Amino acid sequence: MLYLKPEFVTSILLSYNDTMLKGKNILIGITGGIAAYKICTLIRLYKKSGANVRVVVTPNALNFVTKLTLQSLSQNEVFSDCFEINDYKPEHIALTESDIFIIAPASANTIGKLANGICDNLLLSTACAFKKPILIVPAMNTNMWENPFVQDNLEKLKNCGFHILEPDSGFLACGTNGTGRMREPDEIYDKSVEILTKNNFLSGKKILITAGGTKEKIDPVRYITNASSGKMGIALARNAQQMGAEVTLVSTFNADGDFENIVTPTAQEMETTVKSKLNEVDCVIMAAAVSDFRVKEYSSQKIKKTSSDTMTLELVKNPDILKEISDLKTNTKIIGFCAESENLIENAKEKIKAKGCDFLIANDISRKDIGFNSDENEVYILDKALNIKKLDKDTKNNIAKRILEEIFE
């Protein structure tokens, strides 16, 4: 059996990933935990690979590792106080100019605060403002790890797109054996390289994504709409942007994100915008729930209640945006969505043939645990040849990642 010394294995790893991390800005957040001493090794791994490393710590972290040690290894100032301002930028904003934020060890306290938007120290304030990938590496006692509130908080973070590197089982600092030991520095390093590699997956691509249920006006105070929350479209936009794409989100509501957002409440407004952008983008993903009908005659004044017990509205068909842009036969890749309450696969096959799009994402809206207004989804991806791939139930954030990987493979 061939035996390789750990130092040799590490040197192979670093040479393999050198071009990936050279010049990258790595931000490491350290919280109060005995595993904090291992972050010194992690900093050395990043520095050897050519990355620029900055460190932000919680006050309790300094009980386990000193500022001088961290500054010597990172060759940068270490930040711990929100009021350490050397230029015009508040530090929690200046620190966000990094490619990835790794919080290790991440204590139960910090995880809970992150999941609930609490910003009572510099590390938490930085995480709240950070728009690029965040990797959480928990470390804690087994009973704390298994606490349902801690697990709920981790689930919330996963749903919001945080990456979680779950702890190992083994001998813990408290003298017991169990799950809660922080993953080793080389594992954290590998995970961050994996995230950053995926982060460049769509570099150079321009993608337009639609989101939300359109609102077809009846009068100044009333409209026809549907139950779509737009969560799937938002997840696609954020993941595409994180993977390096230039994203335009055409949505029925204002959305926060590092992408262009054009608000188009109605189907006709969305049609106009999508068509105007069609030749400027590499791909259109029609995740919006576009109303099939609109009111034929909009009333500019509020319709008053009358003595009649009924009111009749005449409806006309809205434009079929997906079919229209597919029929234009451009070089743009077109992806549609299909929300069905019955015969999901059969209806999806008929729809992709009728619409002529390149891919169709089908999901079952009759299920209460997925689809409209849920944080989770389960979908089928169909192509023009009617090949079908199922993406099992997962968070909409993870489903969005998988969809992007599949359609751009």
Instruction: Output the pLDDT for position 12.
Output: 38
- Pairwise CA distance, residues 231 & 287, whole Å: 9
DSSP assignment, residue 129?
H
The residue that leads in pLDDT, 21 or 150, is 150
The residue that leads in pLDDT, 365 or 232, is 232
- pTM (two decimals): 0.68
> Which domains, and CATH codes, for the chain?
6-199 (3.40.50.1950), 206-300+310-407 (3.40.50.10300)
Instruction: Output the pLDDT for position 3.
Output: 39
Instruction: Output the pLDDT for position 199.
Output: 67
Buried b (16+ CB within 10 A) or exposed e, 49-71: bebbbbbbbbebbbebbeeeebe
DSSP assignment, residue 123?
H
pLDDT band at 369 (very low <50, low <70, confident <90, very high): confident
pLDDT at 124 over 90: yes
* DSSP notation for 160-198: TT-EE-PPEEEE-TTS-EEEEEPPPHHHHHHHHHHHHHH
CB 135 within 8 A of CB 188: yes
pLDDT at 117 over 70: yes
Instruction: Output the pLDDT for position 203.
Output: 87
Span 280-330, pLDDT tens digits: 999 999 999 999 999 999 999 999 988 899 989 999 999 999 999 999 978
- 254 burial (CB, 10 Å; 0-12 / 13-18 / 19+) is exposed
pLDDT at 390 over 90: yes
Mean pLDDT of 345-361: 96
Instruction: Output the pLDDT for position 197.
Output: 77
- Single-letter code of the amino acid located at 33: G
Cα–Cα distance list, 68 to 65, 316, 381 (Å): 9, 71, 53
160 tagged catalytic: no
- Pairwise CA distance, residues 317 & 320, whole Å: 9
pLDDT at 10 over 50: no
- Pairwise CA distance, residues 23 & 46, whole Å: 10
Catalytic residue, chosen from 174, 283, 338, 357, is 174
Report the percent of the chain where pLDDT is more than 70: 91
Mean pLDDT of the chain: 88
DSSP assignment, residue 216?
E
- Pairwise CA distance, residues 66 & 68, whole Å: 5
Helix/strand/coil percentages in the chain, nearest 5: 35, 25, 40
DSSP assignment, residue 154?
H
CA 105 to chain CA mean position, Å: 22
CB 45 within 8 A of CB 14: yes
